[in-house]
Amino acid sequence: MKPFDLRRKIKFLEGKGYKQYRSLQGSYDFGDFTLVLEHIQGDPFASPSRVKVVVRGDKAGFPPSYYRNYPRKLGLENFLAQELRKACQRASKRMGTGNSGLLRAHGPGQEILPRSTICILGQGTVEARFFVGLPASGRRILSNAAEELLLKLLPEVVHQALFFSPHKRSRLETFVETTEDAEFLRKKLVELGLVAFVAEQSILPRASGVDPRPASYAVPFEVPQELAVEIHLPNRGLLRGMGIPQGITLIAGGGFHGKSTLLRALELGVYDHVPGDGRELVVSVHETVKIRAEDGRSVAGVDISPFIDFLPLGQNTSFFNTPCASGSTSQAANIMEALEIGAKVLLIDEDTSATNFMIRDARMQALISKDKEPITPFLDRVREIYQNFGVSSIIVVGGCGDYLEVADLVIAMDNYRPKVVTAKAREIINQFPSQRKREALKPFAKIPLRRVTKGALNPFKGSKEVAKARGRLEIIWGREEIDLSAVEQIVDEDQTRALALGLSYLAKRPSLVIKEAVQEVEEKVFKHGPLVLSPYSRGDLAGFRRFELAAALNRLRSLVVEQV
């Protein structure tokens, strides 16, 4: 159908009940793009209507060089999603009750993610998915306003955001080249024996705890000569930065000098960042997982015995279950779950850890003998984790000096500037020998895999399946609420929506070894985009890693598992 068909239909609806808008559902050929009204909301106060716009490659006009490989395509998709979001914000206006007149698209924040907002198909065809609030007065259709929205404002948004124009070339090239360089750099890490890289002159501090944009006061990152690495990137050319090698790295320093800021940048280095973020070329290996204590979380069938064993009353810690974990047991479970899924780097901040899990000093060992203490501190396992499983650790320390004993590298942050102080740490170890004894009584030799018991994943609340996000940090799953507030590498509510769908996908699998299942979902999302998880077309999903999906699964209080 043509735009005049849509105009005729709209005029016929004046003053009718809102549900009559559903007669507009269908596809309309605007000449240089196609508008598809996929789902019409049933009420002006309900979730806005879902629309799709398709612009053929020869009309959109984006040069093939902008989508010739996956990183460039990802950069182009995120650039267009950002442009579409901005254009929708400019065009959106109040046209009646509820969501009347709304135009909304989901675009990137500071991180570049696979998104369902924009898909670049073969020959450069652009598919865009966004949301429209069809106008009403009360629950009566306003046809003049609807005509303005769908036949004037929406086409203007499409032409502003989804077609190539020379004045966008510079910004667009920066987007695709930055993404390609970051992905190239991340793939280089293993080859170079590194787990992370921080480019010289990066801006690591954020504006505030609730504002992830770069801080205006920030000190540009300086590279200590001992850790300097130079890499030739496809677009930027020669890049100098700090390479953090595999092994055990400590980040020390006084309070407010940048220890946690550096760790946070490494934590989010698993994602690419938008140009201007300041961390565009701060990258970590894909399998980097942030670990913390998490009082009150449930734990299902996790072998925490390498860290906690011989509990009073003989509770089995090789298959540990609890509805309300303590700080130490939750941190042990978080580590074992990350290792189970294939983590290669553990990030730990002393500030968000359970003290008794991290360290027992010599005086406490003298006061409480080992046969009365079931916890084996992380200090006594961190070397084994690296030697036995090849998993590196980067640990922020401010008060646990005994960690100097196990460190391969010690970095001191001084006014946000890193200095290598490994040699000084060795001198201190010799000058002040530790009196504590290693407390690992048994070797850490294996990481058991788990299987979800058949039928244990139940998303139904009565006869209705419920699997949805409530904000960035919570999933409503059937009759349960999954708390993700301690899963710090979830950065976008669109990811949480996709995670809920990922759980639904897992619930439909007949056999579910957790490691294999979440890996399968991650690969599907990487290959086809997050929309592959949804039963219908929508523009509010973003990609995630298998670690975040496993984290959501592991925090399901009704989870029942068995060891493989």
pLDDT per position as a tens digit, 152-166: 999 999 999 999 999
524 shares a domain with 469: yes
Encode pLDDT of 116-129 as tens digits. Answer: 999 999 999 999 99
In this prediction, residue 488 carries a pLDDT of 97
In this prediction, residue 315 carries a pLDDT of 85
Report the chain's mean pLDDT, rounded to a whole number: 96
Within a domain: 226: no
**pLDDT tier at 356, thresholds 50, 70, 90:** very high
417 shares a domain with 511: no
Examine the pLDDT at 469 and tell me if it is beyond 90. Answer: yes
Q: How many domains are contained in the chain?
A: 3
What's 444's DSSP letter?
A: -
The CA-atom distances, in angstroms, between 319 and each of 342, 354, 410, 433, 555 are 19, 21, 35, 37, 16
Encode pLDDT of 319-347 as tens digits. Answer: 999 999 999 999 999 999 999 999 999 99
26 shares a domain with 158: yes
What is the extent of the structural domain holding 93?
Answer: 3-164
User: What's the whole-number mean pLDDT along residues 521-530?
Assistant: 97
In this prediction, residue 234 carries a pLDDT of 98
Q: Which amino acid is at 334?
A: N
Exposure on the CB side of residue 502, measured as CA atoms within 13 A: 34
In the three-class reduction of DSSP (H, G, I as helix; E, B as strand; rest coil), residue 359 is classed as coil
Encode pLDDT of 194-239 as tens digits. Answer: 999 999 999 999 999 899 999 998 999 999 999 999 999 999 999 9
**pLDDT tier at 511, thresholds 50, 70, 90:** confident
Examine the pLDDT at 314 and tell me if it is beyond 80. Answer: no
Residue bearing tokens 């499983």: 389
Within a domain: 211: no
Within a domain: 218: no
Q: How far apart are CA 279 and CA 277, in angstroms?
A: 6
411 shares a domain with 345: yes
Number of CB atoms found within 10 A of residue 30's CB: 17
In this prediction, residue 474 carries a pLDDT of 98
Within a domain: 267: no
User: What's the whole-number mean pLDDT along residues 449-468?
Assistant: 93
Q: CB within 8 A of 527, min separation 6: which ones?
A: none
Q: Which amino acid is at 472?
A: R
Within a domain: 262: no
User: What's the whole-number mean pLDDT along residues 16-31?
Assistant: 97
Within a domain: 89: yes
Dihedral angle over CA of 87, 89, 91, 92, nearest 10: 150
12 shares a domain with 111: yes
367 shares a domain with 471: no
Residues 262, 349, 337, CA angle at the centre, nearest 5°? 115
483 shares a domain with 370: no
At 322, phi and psi to the nearest 5? Answer: -160, 145
Examine the pLDDT at 444 and tell me if it is beyond 90. Answer: yes
Kindly state the tokens that stand for 59: 């009309």
Q: How far apart are CA 416 and CA 90, in angstroms?
A: 38
In this prediction, residue 141 carries a pLDDT of 98
User: What's the whole-number mean pLDDT along residues 501-507?
Assistant: 97
307 shares a domain with 418: yes
Residue bearing tokens 């922020």: 396
Given 431, 461, 479, which residue is the final one in a domain? 431
Within a domain: 151: yes
Higher local confidence (pLDDT), 240 or 454 = 240
In this prediction, residue 1 carries a pLDDT of 87
509 shares a domain with 401: no
**pLDDT tier at 312, thresholds 50, 70, 90:** confident
Q: How far apart are CA 521 and CA 515, in angstroms?
A: 10
Encode pLDDT of 131-142 as tens digits. Answer: 999 999 999 999
Q: How far apart are CA 476 and CA 371, in angstroms?
A: 43
418 shares a domain with 532: no
Within a domain: 23: yes
Given 141, 164, 187, which residue is the final one in a domain? 164
Encode pLDDT of 383-421 as tens digits. Answer: 999 999 999 999 999 999 999 999 999 999 999 999 999
Identify the CA nearest to 336 among candidates 308, 375, 366, 369. 308
**pLDDT tier at 240, thresholds 50, 70, 90:** very high
**pLDDT tier at 454, thresholds 50, 70, 90:** confident
In this prediction, residue 509 carries a pLDDT of 86
Pairing of strands 272-273, 111-112: antiparallel
In this prediction, residue 406 carries a pLDDT of 97
Kindly state the tokens that stand for 442: 């048994």
Q: How far apart are CA 53 and CA 27, in angstroms?
A: 9
In this prediction, residue 510 carries a pLDDT of 77
484 shares a domain with 424: no
Q: How far apart are CA 16 and CA 14, in angstroms?
A: 6
CB burial class (10 A; 0-12, 13-18, 19+) of residue 267? buried
CB burial class (10 A; 0-12, 13-18, 19+) of residue 15? exposed
At 312, phi and psi to the nearest 5? Answer: -55, 150
Examine the pLDDT at 114 and tell me if it is beyond 90. Answer: yes
Cβ atoms of residues 338 and 547 within 8 Å: yes
Pairing of strands 345-349, 288-291: parallel
Given 164, 181, 207, which residue is the final one in a domain? 164
Q: What share of the chain is helix, strand, coil (3-state, %, to 5)?
A: 40, 25, 40
Cβ atoms of residues 186 and 239 within 8 Å: no
115 shares a domain with 11: yes
Examine the pLDDT at 68 and tell me if it is beyond 90. Answer: yes
